A and B are shown apart, each in its own frame.
Chain A
């Protein structure tokens, strides 16, 4: 395969090709839509995963479809890689630039085109911030359900590319469940519309394939999302546990009782302490774990469900259950959870956020292992997670200024991901693979599966110019990975049952 993706990025021809694209773009884009000065390019050197940095060769900020098409055409003609970027909050290096590529910021595609309250949907451009959709729909009593913690900043285009989730996904689904239409532009410059305001599409479901494709199949230029009516009433319970395993069992117990809470989140002791010190959410700092359970619906539904959940929690070992008395207390309960990442940032110079998913019944086992690994590596860890979905976010605490700590944190992280795969889970629940989890992909998929992903990618982008080197590892990389990881035929965690 002879594509720009396989060409050595530092070769002179690659730099010349980019220079040719930049020169031609000067005629196509307004002056403020092309960034070439080194100091300004540096602002784009990383996304939310700042351990990986690379100053882009050039940055384009198209505002119109014609400008975008010009970028695509020129990059195609000169074989220059294009790296799409939304708000740059991604946590896996999906928007990591290339030194000889064009970083394509979609930030100026930032208009809300329509709030259609009759059909309960919104049509927006990809650069629109996630929260801005709910804000625009609020006067109609509607909102957009997927709510990543980064929702004030992240773009809907980035959400589509990562299939972003949030604390309300257990009941209301991920991005893939809430997007009914997309417009995309392929590298060839073809404009393709998938779905729309209907609840299904004719032909192959390419919409499902696009969501979570990490900018490798096409540039998303328009998104149609479903809007939901605001629930009449929302209530939050906070349960305290003296044992982490009991909290895990309570999660399963609530679901077994026939309830799907709007949110079901768990924090371990380290996370509770960090959050409490930061926002004073009134958490019990000596608890082994807390569960936050949000219930929503009509007044009658919520009253009924609160009783059921309360009873279940106590039955399954909660040593205290508090129901928020008012909106202020409800906001306080959530504030601690929502501030968990910055709270970790306050107790440690750096933290590394992991994102694996496991079957819920493995929660206890996996947390124990993470704690053992934490002791072995001498690095602290706070655990916050979307417990209802089994989606873990261990935050590994380290100090990048201490030699070797970043590497240790990365090894620790990789071991956590392998553990997730070993218990029947996945290396990424919602943050995507990007450049960060390429090795994890080798652990999760066999060569024919990876090869199938590459073929699908070529179906959309035969030249391999869209976001090359992300999301799907090469077979050569995986061969190297397994050479290093499987010693004497032994897989990591040989004692765990395989699925």
Chain B
């Protein structure tokens, strides 16, 4: 299978020109999640670099558990192709809009509800073809499951927020979609959920999701029929008729909790914490995912207070939406780490072609002398 449209050389050429003329480019996939990589829009001198037309599934091999896909391909298109052969991406990506692209998904690096039991997005990346800031087309990793030849640049591209290079193709490890699923619900408080999830975590049951919203613990199980049914009996609770819809909305970040407009002064946060962390003492409402490891918070608390609480708990907090009030969108990191991230950016994009406002800045020799 190799259909679609290969725009590799056009993209590489465009970057080579940008590198020599001092032009800055913002990589745009489907454009649907632009606010997550560029929350304040583009600087005046920045041009969008459109990748959506570089699309198509290059190679799908279910028995090899691998798919290679061009970055402009819509996530929904990829998911449909996988569903047809009984496969899935292990990290259950969001498909917020029909145009959301595979490249954007990888550049944001966010993993869905299955994360604690199967894999994160970056875990499932096996290989990439990219264009770096010099306009060179480079291939790292491959289509095989195990590969330790050279530094793992492919996984570094996951979550790189457009700041390291243009993703051309990505190869993912696939998993067979579960033959059978079950959805359960149990009423409980958030604190009880965290304790319950911790205890359930000590037994190897076939969980594929554990979330809490509005006083309800949502359980999703997946695997063989007997295994799932037996686990459902052991866990107890009522069948969750709204289950499939709930998990789809959670996956696509379409739950009202996440989409409802924020009262003035409130902010929506995404916290990543050691999962057993007791409820944090912050004002507002919570939505819990990943058995407690991912926590969404709508709160009027000051950014500093949220960050301090997350840091104290050994985690981090990303400002998702609301007034940044001068605070960074990503969790602040120590200066030495920021410097290192900057050096890594410089190694891939020495001239600073790629506009990535959420990543630390770094000195660009070419620009400095210009």
Query: Given A118-B276, A202-B318, do A298 and B153 touch, yes or no (CB 8 Å)?
Result: no
Give, as a whole number of angstroms, the nearest-CB distance from B136 to chain A. Answer: 5
Q: Please choose the segment from A102-110, A184-192, A272-280, A404-412 that sits at the chain B interface, where 4 or more of its residues have CB less than 8 A away.
A: A184-192
A453 to B132, CA, bound (A): 12
Which A residues are CB-close (under 8 A) to B61?
359, 361
Within 8 A of A (CB), among B134-171: 136, 138-140, 142-153, 155-156, 158-160, 163-164
Which B residues are CB-close (under 8 A) to A433?
148-150
Instruction: Name 28 A/B residue pairs within 8 A (Cβ), A-sorted.
Output: A116-B274, A170-B145, A193-B337, A194-B337, A197-B274, A198-B293, A199-B272, A199-B275, A204-B345, A208-B156, A229-B202, A229-B204, A252-B64, A258-B176, A298-B206, A298-B231, A304-B227, A389-B144, A424-B143, A429-B145, A446-B138, A446-B139, A448-B138, A449-B150, A453-B150, A455-B347, A457-B151, A459-B340
Q: Is B301 an interface residue (CB 8 A)?
A: no
What are the 6 closest A-B residue pairs judged by CB atoms, nearest first? A301-B227, A208-B155, A459-B343, A429-B146, A197-B274, A118-B276
Closest to A356 in B: B144
Q: Is B330 an interface residue (CB 8 A)?
A: yes
Query: Given A228-B204, A456-B347, do A204 and B341 touch, yes or no (CB 8 Å)?
Result: yes
**0 or 1 for each of A207-225: is its CB under 8 Å from B? (1 = yes):** 0110111000100000000
Point out the residue from A201, A360, A386, A432 that lies within 8 Å of B63, measured CB to CB. A360
A308 to B150, CA, bound (A): 38
A286 to B120, CA, bound (A): 43
Contact B86 A212 (CB under 8 A): no
Count of chain B residues with a beta carbon within 8 Å of a chain A beta carbon = 87
A437 to B149, CA, bound (A): 9
Q: Is B78 an interface residue (CB 8 A)?
A: no
Q: Is A358 an interface residue (CB 8 A)?
A: yes
Which A residues are CB-close (under 8 A) to B359?
203-204
Give, as a whole number of angstroms, the nearest-CB distance from A296 to chain B. Answer: 8
Query: Given A202-B333, A255-B65, A429-B144, do A449 and B206 touch, yes or no (CB 8 Å)?
Result: no
6 A-B pairs besides A256-B63, A433-B150 with CB distance below 8 A are: A199-B275, A232-B204, A298-B204, A429-B145, A448-B136, A459-B343
Chain B residues with CB under 8 Å of chain A are 61-66, 86, 109, 111, 115-116, 119-120, 122-123, 132, 136, 138-140, 142-153, 155-156, 158-160, 163-164, 175-177, 179, 198, 201-206, 223-227, 229-231, 272-276, 290, 293-294, 314-316, 318, 330-331, 333-334, 336-338, 340-341, 343-348, 359-360
A450 to B140, CA, bound (A): 10
**0 or 1 for each of A386-419: is its CB under 8 Å from B? (1 = yes):** 1011110000000000000000000000000000
Contact A300 B230 (CB under 8 A): yes
Count of chain A residues with a beta carbon within 8 Å of a chain B beta carbon = 103
Give, as a whole number of angstroms, the nearest-CB distance from A294 to chain B. Answer: 14
Which A residues are CB-close (under 8 A) to B138?
446, 448-449, 452
Contact B340 A192 (CB under 8 A): yes
Within 8 A of B (CB), among A233-247: none
Q: Is A205 an interface residue (CB 8 A)?
A: yes
Which B residues are CB-close (under 8 A) to A228?
204
Closest to B356 in A: A204
Query: Given A229-B202, A229-B203, A298-B204, do A209 and B337 touch, yes or no (CB 8 Å)?
Result: no
Contact B146 A389 (CB under 8 A): yes
**0 or 1 for each of A239-267: is its CB under 8 Å from B? (1 = yes):** 00000000000001101101110000000
A298 to B233, CA, bound (A): 13
Q: Please choose the segment from A31-39, A125-133, A172-180 that sits at the chain B interface, where 4 or more of its residues have CB less than 8 A away.
A: A172-180
Contact B227 A460 (CB under 8 A): no
Q: Is A162 an interface residue (CB 8 A)?
A: yes
Give, as a whole number of angstroms, the nearest-CB distance from B208 to chain A. Answer: 13
Closest to A425 in B: B144
Q: Is A124 an interface residue (CB 8 A)?
A: no
Among the interface residues B160, B177, B223, B318, which one has the most CB atoms of the partner chain A within 10 A?
B223
Give, as a whole number of angstroms, the nearest-CB distance from A364 to chain B. Answer: 14
Among the interface residues B149, B275, B333, which one has the most CB atoms of the partner chain A within 10 A?
B149
A460 to B159, CA, bound (A): 20
Within 8 A of B (CB), among A286-303: 296-301, 303
Contact A305 B224 (CB under 8 A): yes
Point out the residue from A177, A205, A212, A297 that lies within 8 Å of B227, measured CB to CB. A297
A44 to B360, CA, bound (A): 41
Which B residues are CB-close (under 8 A) to A457?
151
Which A residues are CB-close (under 8 A) to B334?
192-193
